[in-house]
Amino acid sequence: LDIQFAMSLPDVIDRILPRTAAVLRETALFGLLVGGSAAGWAAQWIRGQSIRNDPHLDWSPIGSRGSSSTHNGDAPTDVSSANPCLRPLRLRGVTLKNRIVRAAAFGGGTIDQLITTHVEVAKGGAALTTVAYASVSATGRTFSSQLVLTEEAVPSLRRLTGAVHAAGGKIAIQLTHAGAFANRGVTGVTQIAPSCTFNPAGWDFAREMTDAEADDIIRQFATAAAVAVDGGFDAVELHVGHGYLLSQFLTPFCNRRSGKYGGPTTADRLACPLAVLRAVRASVGDDVPIIVKMNVTDGLPSPGWGLTLSDAIEAARGFEQGGADALVLSGGTVSRSGFAMLTGDVPRFDMARAMPGWLSAIGLIFFGWLYVPEIPFEEAFFRGQARAVLSAVERIPVGLIGGVTTVATINGALSEGFGFVQMARALIRQPDFVRRIELAAKTPDLTIASPCIHCNQCVVATLDPNRPVECPERRAGQSTPAPDLTEW
């Protein structure tokens, strides 16, 4: 009875005035998190187990299932490598030199900072490095220095991409729009979303966008993608995860609309993200790879609230059929399950000190245990859901992300059929991680591991513009000896 009530409650309260309905939905979600019939779920969440506690999923160590590689993007090559992670990968018109990609994570608030961050990764040997949080619209930003993809930005973008190419790397850019949690203090306007939604990050409300506004956002993604290609980027990544706008369209809790871009089914809610994918493909042409980063879990109760695994599988198939060249399987919702995509320590008080407003800081201190719970780190923590999606995707490479820190895990993932891995914190801690693999013996060195301790202090830089974009452990000199990289 409780489950039936949880499934039907959003539909009931949606009949009330939009803001009242948004408050009631948020209150109901709060109740599901901390009490009532969901007390067991909440306890699991607080202990950090909820996103990987499904007994029907395979949580065995990566690489223990044997080979199932059918669509992992192997590029034709006459060069055999003893280490699978160093084999090339073909994505449409681009060949990557290995299977290790720097995930989209904050790299700085200026072009010069971005150049420093991404050139270092390219010199360190990663096949592709990804610039994070490039907004397709000035009204979709979450922070004031956020990169907005306009024609005026092209000269700066070419500086960045030229520097990465000169360092021997390739570079992608992540296209995004914050939707409901855009920062109106930065944008100066009320944020828009699939449905009227309460925004915990700003303690305000997003209004429901019209179909015409949704159509305009689709055009903005297409225009931004064209700017990215003009700026010299080798690939684009659509952010359909972490509770950003395209992810909001897929999440039942956030998308209560009917009609063109909403409805009761996953296919209904997938309509807008798929329209964006098709528009971006038309904009960038046939040779530029489009990577789709999507959630396998929102870190919210489901069904009826967050994305279910069956939803994620249907969405992945839709993106494959819609023209995506690769998928990256992540999870979590920035404004409601903020560390589900990270796990590890939560530097809550450091984050609160860096928050732009005192109300948000107080909210983080008192309610952070609920919306930003500490989830114990476990390597490859999305592997169960990712395996389920991988088995449903037939033709394009699927990337594993989430706590990938060792060569053993990387090569194990490849042996299971994943096409590549994405890493962020490990490469922030040790940008030359890939070069260390290359300089190792010509046989797989399964002992190579990142010294990242998952303290997540690097995350604080996304909130504090005065904080350096770096790993404090690395700054303190607590790194393994660097190899001789004089060829840089």
Write out the catalytic residue numbers. Answer: 244
CA torsion through residues 80, 83, 84, 90, sign: negative
Residue of 239, 230, 326 lying closest to 285 (CA atoms): 230
Q: Are 262 and 256 in contact (CB under 8 A)?
A: yes
Whole-angstrom distance, CA of residue 26 vs CA of residue 384: 28
Whole-angstrom distance, CA of residue 264 vs CA of residue 402: 30
Q: Which residues of 453-470 are buried (b: 16+ CB within 10 A; e: fewer)?
A: ebbbbbbbbbbeeebebb
Q: Are 468 and 107 in contact (CB under 8 A)?
A: no
175 contacts: CB under 8 Å, gap ≥ 6: 134, 136, 149, 221, 224, 225, 228, 236, 237, 238, 239, 280
